[in-house]
C-alpha cells in the first residue's frame, strides 16, 4: 500500500475519534474546509465539507471574540507567522457558548499566498477567563497567553507568588471575609500596579504575572512593588497584613514549554518556603537537579518499602538514668541505606515516608523489629529480666492517626510475650501539632493499655507548656537544640529548670536529649532531669554492639 492510500484514510479514521478535540484542514484559496465528524456533530455543521469556510466559522464565534479572531487570522495570512493559536467562544449545536482553543498551521503557495491551513480545535468547556472573586484573569488565560508568547518566541519572565497567611485569615475571619481580602488583592494588582503586565489568579492564594520582555532585575523590581502594594490594607475595619513567597522563571531561557514552566515555578515556590526566604527565588538548573534527585530517592524508598522494607534497619541509643548513670532505656532509631545513594539520614527519608504515608507501614516494621529484638535478647542472655526497663520507639503523627496502630502494638507485644510496660512511644512532632483533642483521646487509649507516651523535641517549634496539660504524656524529651548550647546560654538553663519543675508537678518525667559534654551533663542534672541521652554517653549503636555493651556485660 502506498502512502497516498494511508494518507487518504488517515483523516477518515481520526475524524471518527470521539472526544473534545476537533480536526480540520482547509484550502484557503478555495475557502473550503473539511471538518472531523466530531466537529460536525458538536457544532451542528451542515456537513463535513463546507464551502464559505471562513464566513461559516465566523458566524459561530461569540460576537465579542470575532475581532480578536479575525486579527489573529489576518496576521497569519499576511505572513506574520504560519502558526495560529487563539482562544475564543463558539456556539455549539445546543446553542451554548463554550471556550475553545484553536491551533493551526498554514502553508503558502509559490507566490507566497496562503494555501493549506489545518489544525485542531480543543473544547475548553465553559471555563471562564475571569476569576469571579478577584476579577483577575484565570489560570486558563495564563496558560493560553504564555503559550502564545512561547509560540512567538518571545522572551521575558514569569513571577509566581503565594500569600502566606491566607489560610489563617480564612480560619480566623471566615470565607466571606477571605473572599473580600482576595477581591482587594485583585483590585490592587490591577489598579495600583503597572498595567503593562496582566496578573492572573492561579489557584487559592497564588497569583502570577507574565512579564513579556522583562529581565531578572525587572522581575525583582516588580516583586518589591507588589510587596509594598499588598503589605497592609483595611477590610471591614480590620487591618490586614499580607506576606508572600515568590518564585520566578525566565522564558525561553529556562524552558520553552508551558507545562515545564508551570511545574518549575511551583517547585521553585515550594523551595522558597523550604529555605524560608521572602526574596524571589529564580528557577535554576541546580534546583532542577535537586528536584529530580529528590524524586529518585522517593521512588527508591517506595520500592524498598514495597519489598518488605529492604534497606531499612534499626539502631539503638542508650538513655541513662540521671541518678544511677546506668542505661535502663534505649531509643530505637531508623536507618536506611541504598546502593545508589550516599548517606541518607532520617531527616531526609522520614519526611518522605511521612508525606507518602508509607511511614505507617515502615513504622509497624520498626515496632516489629524492635520487639522481636528484645524478645531475642531475653533468649540470648538467658535472663528473666534485662537491664533495659523500657524501649522508646518514634511514632509520627500520621501513624497515630492510623486507627489500627493500637491493636497492632498489642498483638506484637502478645506475640513476643512482652509486658505492655516495656514500650514508650515517642510522638515526634508534638510541637508542630496545633489541634490536640483528637490526639489526646488517641494517646489516652494507649496509656490505658499500659503503653507510655513521650513528647519528643520539646522546646522547639511553637510548643508551649500548655501542651503538657492537654496531652497525656509520661515523659517529655527536651530537644538537643536546647541542651547543646546550654553551657553558653543561661536562659536555656533556666527554661529547662522551669520545664522540670512544671513537669514534676503534673507527674511527667523529663529526659534531656543531645547531651554532648560533661558541662552540659552537669547542668541538666542540676536542673533535675530524670534521664539523659546523648553523644556524651553514646551514639546510636548497631543492634549487636548495643547488646554486647549494654545487655550482655551489664
Which chain residues interact with ligand C2E by CB under 6 A? 317, 333-334, 345-347, 350, 359, 363, 366, 394-396, 426, 428, 456-457, 480, 513-516, 533-535, 540
Q: Identify the residue whose cell numbers are 507568588.
A: 161
CA distance 505 to 180: 48
Shortest distance in whole angstroms from residue 331 CB to ligand C2E: 7
* C-alpha dist (Å) from residue 548 to 372, 539, 541, 543: 17, 15, 10, 9
Q: Among Ca ion, ligand C2E, none, what binds residue 334 when CB lies within 5 to 8 Å by partner kind?
A: ligand C2E
DSSP letter (8 states) at residue 130: B
Shortest distance in whole angstroms from residue 128 CB to ligand C2E: 45
Piece in contact with Ca ion (CB under 5 A), picked from 167-175, 449-457, 468-476, 535-543: 449-457
181 vs 395 by CB, closer to ligand C2E = 395
CA distance 165 to 170: 9
| Residues paired with 423 in a beta bridge | 391
Helices H / strands E in the chain, number of each: 20, 22
Q: Among ligand C2E, Ca ion, none, what binds residue 131 when CB lies within 5 to 8 Å by partner kind?
A: none
Shortest distance in whole angstroms from residue 363 CB to ligand C2E: 6
Q: How many chain residues touch Ca ion (CB under 5 A)? A: 4
CA distance 427 to 434: 14
> How is residue 63 written as a grid cell?
460576537
Q: Among ligand C2E, Ca ion, none, what binds residue 347 when CB lies within 5 to 8 Å by partner kind?
A: ligand C2E
Helix (H) / strand (E) element for 490: namely helix 490-505
Contact between 429 and Ca ion per CB under 5 A: no
248 vs 515 by CB, closer to ligand C2E = 515
Contact between 358 and Ca ion per CB under 5 A: no
CA-based angle 50:63:135, to the nearest 5? Answer: 130
Shortest distance in whole angstroms from residue 345 CB to ligand C2E: 5
Q: Among ligand C2E, Ca ion, none, what binds residue 396 when CB lies within 5 to 8 Å by partner kind?
A: ligand C2E
| Pairing verdict, β 390-395 and 327-336 | parallel
Shortest distance in whole angstroms from residue 518 CB to ligand C2E: 13
Contact between 456 and Ca ion per CB under 5 A: yes
Contact between 426 and Ca ion per CB under 5 A: yes
311 vs 363 by CB, closer to ligand C2E = 363
Helix (H, G, I), strand (E, B) or coil at 27: strand
104 vs 514 by CB, closer to ligand C2E = 514
CA distance 525 to 240: 47
Of the chain, the end-to-end C-alpha distance in Å amounts to: 86
Q: Which residues contribute to the site for Ca ion (CB under 5 A)? A: 394, 426, 456-457
Amino acid at each position: 500500500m502506498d502512502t497516498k492510500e494511508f494518507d487518504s484514510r488517515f483523516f477518515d479514521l481520526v475524524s471518527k475519534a470521539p472526544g473534545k478535540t476537533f480536526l480540520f484542514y482547509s484550502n484557503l484559496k478555495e475557502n473550503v474546509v473539511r471538518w472531523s465528524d466530531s466537529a460536525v456533530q458538536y457544532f451542528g455543521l451542515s456537513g463535513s465539507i463546507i464551502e464559505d469556510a471562513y464566513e461559516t466559522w465566523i458566524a459561530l464565534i461569540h460576537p465579542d471574540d470575532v475581532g480578536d479572531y479575525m486579527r489573529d487570522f489576518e496576521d497569519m495570512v499576511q505572513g506574520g507567522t504560519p502558526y495560529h493559536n487563539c482562544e475564543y467562544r463558539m456556539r455549539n449545536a445546543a446553542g451554548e457558548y463554550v471556550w475553545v482553543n484553536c491551533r493551526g498551521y498554514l502553508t503558502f503557495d509559490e507566490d507566497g499566498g496562503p494555501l493549506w491551513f489545518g489544525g485542531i480545535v480543543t473544547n475548553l468547556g465553559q471555563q471562564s477567563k475571569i476569576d469571579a472573586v478577584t476579577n483577575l484573569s484565570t489560570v486558563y488565560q495564563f496558560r493560553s497567553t504564555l503559550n502564545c508568547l512561547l509560540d512567538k518566541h518571545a522572551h521575558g519572565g514569569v513571577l509566581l507568588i503565594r500569600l502566606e497567611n491566607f489560610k489563617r485569615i480564612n480560619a480566623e475571619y471566615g470565607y466571606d471575609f477571605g473572599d473580600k481580602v482576595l477581591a482587594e488583592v485583585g483590585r490592587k494588582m490591577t489598579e495600583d500596579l503597572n498595567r503593562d503586565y496582566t496578573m492572573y489568579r492561579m489557584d487559592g492564594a497564588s497569583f502570577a504575572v507574565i512579564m513579556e520582555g522583562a529581565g531578572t532585575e525587572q522581575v525583582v523590581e516588580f516583586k518589591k512593588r507588589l510587596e509594598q502594594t499588598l503589605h497592609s490594607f483595611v477590610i471591614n475595619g480590620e487591618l490586614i497584613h499580607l506576606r508572600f513567597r515568590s518564585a520566578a522563571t525566565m522564558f525561553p531561557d529556562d524552558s520553552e514549554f508551558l507545562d515545564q514552566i508551570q511545574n518549575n515555578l511551583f517547585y521553585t515556590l515550594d523551595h522558597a518556603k523550604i529555605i524560608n526566604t521572602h526574596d524571589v527565588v529564580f528557577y535554576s538548573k541546580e534546583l532542577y537537579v535537586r528536584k529530580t534527585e529528590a524524586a529518585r530517592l522517593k521512588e527508591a524508598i517506595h520500592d524498598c518499602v514495597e519489598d518488605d522494607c529492604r534497606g531499612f534497619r534499626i539502631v539503638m541509643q542508650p538513655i541513662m538514668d540521671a541518678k544511677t548513670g546506668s542505661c535502663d532505656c534505649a531509643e530505637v532509631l531508623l536507618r536506611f541505606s541504598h546502593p545508589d545513594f550516599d548517606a541518607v539520614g532520617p531527616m531526609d527519608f522520614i519526611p518522605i515516608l511521612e508525606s507518602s504515608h508509607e511511614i505507617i507501614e515502615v513504622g509497624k516494621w520498626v515496632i516489629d523489629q524492635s520487639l522481636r529484638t528484645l524478645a531475642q535478647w531475653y533468649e540470648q542472655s538467658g535472663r528473666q529480666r534485662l537491664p533495659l526497663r523500657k524501649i522508646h520507639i518514634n511514632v509520627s503523627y500520621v501513624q497515630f492517626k492510623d486507627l489500627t496502630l493500637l491493636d497492632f502494638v498489642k498483638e506484637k507485644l502478645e506475640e513476643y510475650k512482652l509486658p505492655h510496660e516495656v514500650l514508650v512511644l515517642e510522638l515526634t512532632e508534638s510541637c508542630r501539632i496545633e489541634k490536640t483533642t483528637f490526639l489526646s483521646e488517641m494517646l489516652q487509649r494507649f496509656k490505658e493499655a499500659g503503653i507510655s507516651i513521650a513528647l519528643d523535641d520539646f522546646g522547639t517549634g511553637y510548643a508551649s507548656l500548655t501542651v503538657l496539660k492537654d496531652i497525656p504524656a509520661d515523659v517529655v524529651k527536651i530537644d538537643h537544640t536546647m541542651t547543646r548550647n546550654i553551657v553558653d546560654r543561661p536562659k536555656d538553663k533556666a527554661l529547662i529548670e522551669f520545664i522540670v519543675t512544671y513537669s514534676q508537678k503534673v507527674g511527667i518525667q523529663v529526659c534531656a536529649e543531645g547531651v554532648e559534654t560533661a558541662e552540659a551533663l552537669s547542668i541538666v542534672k542540676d536542673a533535675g532531669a530524670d534521664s539523659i541521652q546523648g553523644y556524651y554517653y553514646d551514639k546510636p549503636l548497631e543492634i549487636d554492639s548495643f547488646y554486647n555493651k549494654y545487655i550482655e556485660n551489664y
